[in-house]
């Protein structure tokens, strides 16, 4: 934790868009796009929200949000019907539970016109996750999204025993974003779980608490 002045501790949204020299970007405080010229982001996938209705400058839209913990929490947001989201779901469907326990690299690959594909790599072996587009027009994308969501969000219970420090650090970030005081946090834990600290929570309780805080950040 860095003491003193600095940026507001909140997840950094990353948006996907096919431009002439980059494929994703962030937004400045005054909502101006900031190009990201790097093609890859490496971190631990901590969650996914599929078919999420969000309010944009063009009205309501259905998005996919991929949560990644790297040097800070990131949320990669893409249109649910985009090739990026679909290739992301195909890759995550193939990836094993064991692979999800370790950092993965999410890379953007430009296609024709406005198309951007997602490719996932193992950052240690440099190998990409092979996916197949055969029969993609007949795929039940909503069903696949639900399957992947259960897989990714459910993996936390299996991960947390070996990565409790990661999850507790993530709750630190969420608590700061929500402006919860330590007293508020302890009171919530006592009322909800009958426990005084996050260290006393079981693995499943810690996952539930992390998911609850993340859901509060998504509230309008």
- Between CA 82 and CA 118 the distance in angstroms is 10
Sign of the torsion formed by the C-alpha atoms of 207, 149, 27 and 40 = positive
Type and span of the H or E element at 43: strand 40-56
- Does residue 110 share a domain with residue 175? no
Q: For position 163, what pLDDT does the model report?
A: 66
Same domain, 87 and 34: yes
Q: 65 - beta bridge partners?
A: 49, 77
Per-residue DSSP letter, 80: T
Both 130 and 169 in a single domain? no
pLDDT at 146: 83
pLDDT of residue 45: 92
Q: What is the pLDDT of residue 187?
A: 92
pLDDT at res. 207: 74
10 Å Cβ neighbour count for 205? 16
Same domain, 36 and 132: yes
- Based on the domain organization, do 92 and 122 belong to the same domain? yes
The CB density around residue 50, as the number of other CB atoms within 10 Å, is: 22
Contact 201, 189 (CB under 8 A): yes
Exposed, middle or buried by CB within 10 Å (0-12, 13-18, 19+), for 101?
A: middle
State whether 125 and 21 are in the same domain. Answer: yes
β partners of residue 64: 78
Q: Is 167 helix (H, G, I), strand (E, B) or coil?
A: helix
Domain count, the chain: 2
pLDDT of residue 167 exceeding 80, the answer is: no
- Higher-scoring residue by pLDDT: 174, 40: 40
Tell me the per-residue pLDDT of 182-217, one tens digit each, with 9 for 90 and over: 899 999 999 988 998 998 988 778 877 887 887 787
Quick one: pLDDT band at residue 135, thresholds 50, 70, 90?
Answer: confident
Model confidence at 162: pLDDT above 90: no
Determine, yes or no, domain membership for 79: yes
Q: CA-CA distance, 45 to 152, in Å (whole number)?
A: 8
Q: Check whether 156 has a pLDDT greater than 60.
A: no
Question: Does one domain contain both 123 and 220?
Answer: no
Cα-Cα-Cα-Cα dihedral sign, residues 144, 149, 150, 151? positive
Identify whether residues 105 and 194 lie together within a single domain. no
pLDDT at 29 over 80: yes
CA distance 92 to 87: 9
Q: Specify the higher pLDDT residue, 30 or 22.
A: 22
User: Average per-residue pLDDT in the chain?
Assistant: 87
**3-11: average pLDDT:** 79
The pLDDT value given to residue 160 = 59
How sure is the predictor about 100, in pLDDT bands with cuts at 50, 70 and 90? confident
Tell me the mean pLDDT in the region 23-51. Answer: 93
Q: Are residues 164 and 131 in the same domain?
A: no
Same-domain pairing of 31 and 125:
yes
Residue 46 in any domain: the answer is yes
Q: Is 74 exposed, middle or buried (0-12, 13-18, 19+ CB in 10 A)?
A: buried
Does 104 fall in a domain? yes
> Where in the sequence is the domain holding 56, given as residue range(s)?
12-139
* Residue 123: per-residue pLDDT: 94
CA distance 115 to 83: 7
- Please tell me which residue, 2 or 130, carries the higher pLDDT value: 130
């Amino acid at each position: 934790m860095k003491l003193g002045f600095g940026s507001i501790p909140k997840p950094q949204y990353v948006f996907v868009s096919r431009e002439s020299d980059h494929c994703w970007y962030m937004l400045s405080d005054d909502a101006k796009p900031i190009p990201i010229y790097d093609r890859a982001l490496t971190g631990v996938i901590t969650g996914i929200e599929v078919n999420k209705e969000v309010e944009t400058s063009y009205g309501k839209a259905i998005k996919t949000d991929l949560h990644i913990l790297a040097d800070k929490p990131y949320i990669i947001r893409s249109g649910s019907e985009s090739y990026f989201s679909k290739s992301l779901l195909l890759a995550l469907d193939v990836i094993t539970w064991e692979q999800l326990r370790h950092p993965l690299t999410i890379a953007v690959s430009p296609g024709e016109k406005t198309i951007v594909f997602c490719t996932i790599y193992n950052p240690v072996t440099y190998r990409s996750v092979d996916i197949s587009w055969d029969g993609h027009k007949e795929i039940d994308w909503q069903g696949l999204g639900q399957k992947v969501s259960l897989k990714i969000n459910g993996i936390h219970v299996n991960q947390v025993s070996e990565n409790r420090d990661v999850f507790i650090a993530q709750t630190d970030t969420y608590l700061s974003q929500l402006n919860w005081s330590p007293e508020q946090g302890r009171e919530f834990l006592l009322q909800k779980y009958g426990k005084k600290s996050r260290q006393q929570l079981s693995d499943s309780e810690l996952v539930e608490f992390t998911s609850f805080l993340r859901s509060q950040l998504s509230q309008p």
